[in-house]
C-alpha cells in the first residue's frame, strides 16, 4: 500500500508480541530462502544479531536445488566488467571508423600546455622505464588503464614505423614529442617547428608502391602547416622500412641537416 500523507499505519504505536515478532521473522527468512523476496538492503550492513540468525537458519535449512540454480543463473548475468566477444567486436569496429573531431581553440591550448610537460628526452625515457619496471600493476589498475586507453582520442598504439622513427631520434639524442596536437597531429614534433609524419603506404596511398597518388588531405595539411611556418617532413612506410633507413635518416644528409636544431 502506498504511503499517503495523513494516513496513519494501522500498527503505529502498537507493540508486537514476542510470538508475533518470531513468526514474522521466521516467515521472512522462509520467503528469503525460497527466493520470494528480494534483498532490499543489499548495500546496508545487517545487524550482527540478524547475521547470526541467518547463518543458523541456513545451517538448518540449506537452499533447495532449484533456488541454488536460480541464484547461480542470476549471478551469471552479472559480470560487471566482462564484455562479450560481440560487444568487443562492435566497440572495435566503431572505434576504427571514428574520425577525429577538430579541436576547439580552448582544447588546443590545454593540450599544448600538457604537451609541453611530456617531451621525451632519452633521460626521461630511461627514468620512466626504471620506475615502470619495478611496479606490478594490480588487476584493477590494469582494467582502469585499458578502459582509459579505449576512451583516448589519440591513436591506441604507435605504429611500428613511428616507433622506428622515435628510436632513431632517441639514438641521436634529439628531443621530440609524439602526436603533437596541431593540424594533422604530426607523429613526431621537434622544437621549434619541425613536424614529421610517418605515412603508411596503403592508408596514405603511396604512389611508389602503387596504392594511388597520395592523399589529398595529406597535401592540404602539409601546405597549411608550411603556411603557418612549420617545416614538414613526410616519410613513407617503405622508406622507413628500407634497409637503408638509417642512411636516409642520417642527419648529415642535407634533407635533415637544414631542419634539425644544432
Ligand atoms: Zn610506399
Whole-number Å distance, alpha carbon 226 to ligand 1 midpoint, is 23
Q: Is the pLDDT of residue 109 over 60?
A: yes
- Domain extent listing, the chain: 17-38+46-64, 116-257
CA of 205 to the centre of ligand 1 (A): 8
Q: Say how many Å lie between the CA of residue 146 and the centre of ligand 1.
A: 33
Query: Residue 106: pLDDT band by 50, 70, 90 thresholds?
Result: confident
pLDDT category, 157, cuts 50, 70, 90? confident
Q: Report which of residues 195 and 55 the model is more confident about.
A: 195
pLDDT, position 140:
73
- All three cell numbers of 152, joined, read 583516448
- Over 70: is that where the pLDDT of 152 sits? no
With contact defined as beta carbons under 8 Å apart, do 175 and 256 qualify?
A: no
The region of weakest confidence among 9-13, 97-101, 134-138 is: 97-101
- Quote the crossing angle between the two packed helices 18-33 and 48-60, to the nearest 10°: 60
Over residues 72-80, mean pLDDT: 56
Per-residue pLDDT, 171: 85
- In CATH, the number for domain 116-257 is 3.40.960.10
Global pTM? 0.41
More confident residue, 129 or 25: 25
- How far, in Å, from the CA of 207 to the mean position of ligand 1? 7
Mean pLDDT of the chain: 70
Segment 97-124 shows an average pLDDT of 58
Q: Is the pLDDT of residue 212 over 80?
A: yes
Residues 6 or more apart whose Cβ sits within 8 Å of residue 108:
181, 182
Amino acid at each position: 500500500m502506498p504511503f499517503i500523507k495523513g494516513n496513519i499505519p494501522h500498527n503505529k504505536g502498537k507493540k508486537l508480541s514476542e510470538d508475533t515478532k518470531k513468526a514474522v521473522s521466521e516467515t521472512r527468512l522462509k520467503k528469503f530462502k525460497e527466493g520470494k523476496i528480494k534483498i532490499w538492503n543489499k548495500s546496508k550492513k545487517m545487524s550482527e544479531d540478524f547475521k547470526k540468525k541467518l547463518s543458523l537458519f541456513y545451517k538448518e535449512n540449506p537452499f533447495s536445488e532449484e533456488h541454488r540454480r536460480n541464484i547461480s543463473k542470476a549471478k551469471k548475468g552479472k559480470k560487471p566488467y566482462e564484455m562479450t566477444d560481440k560487444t568487443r567486436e562492435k566497440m572495435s569496429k566503431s572505434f576504427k571508423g571514428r574520425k577525429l573531431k577538430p579541436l576547439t581553440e580552448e582544447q588546443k591550448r590545454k593540450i599544448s600546455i600538457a604537451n609541453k610537460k611530456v617531451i621525451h628526452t632519452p633521460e626521461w625515457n630511461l627514468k620512466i622505464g626504471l620506475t615502470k619496471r619495478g611496479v606490478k600493476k594490480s588487476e584493477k589498475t590494469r582494467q582502469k588503464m585499458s578502459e582509459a586507453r579505449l576512451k583516448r582520442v589519440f591513436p591506441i598504439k604507435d605504429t611500428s614505423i613511428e616507433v622506428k622513427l622515435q628510436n632513431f631520434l632517441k639514438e641521436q639524442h634529439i628531443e621530440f614529442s609524439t602526436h603533437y596536437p596541431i593540424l594533422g597531429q604530426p607523429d613526431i614534433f621537434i622544437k621549434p617547428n619541425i613536424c614529421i609524419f610517418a605515412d603508411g603506404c596503403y592508408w596514405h596511398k603511396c604512389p611508389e608502391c602503387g596504392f594511388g597518388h597520395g592523399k589529398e588531405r595529406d597535401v592540404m595539411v602539409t601546405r597549411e602547416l608550411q603556411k603557418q611556418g612549420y617545416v614538414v617532413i613526410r616519410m613513407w612506410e617503405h622508406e622507413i622500412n628500407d634497409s637503408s633507413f638509417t642512411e636516409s635518416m642520417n642527419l648529415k644528409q642535407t634533407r635533415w641537416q637544414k631542419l634539425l636544431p644544432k
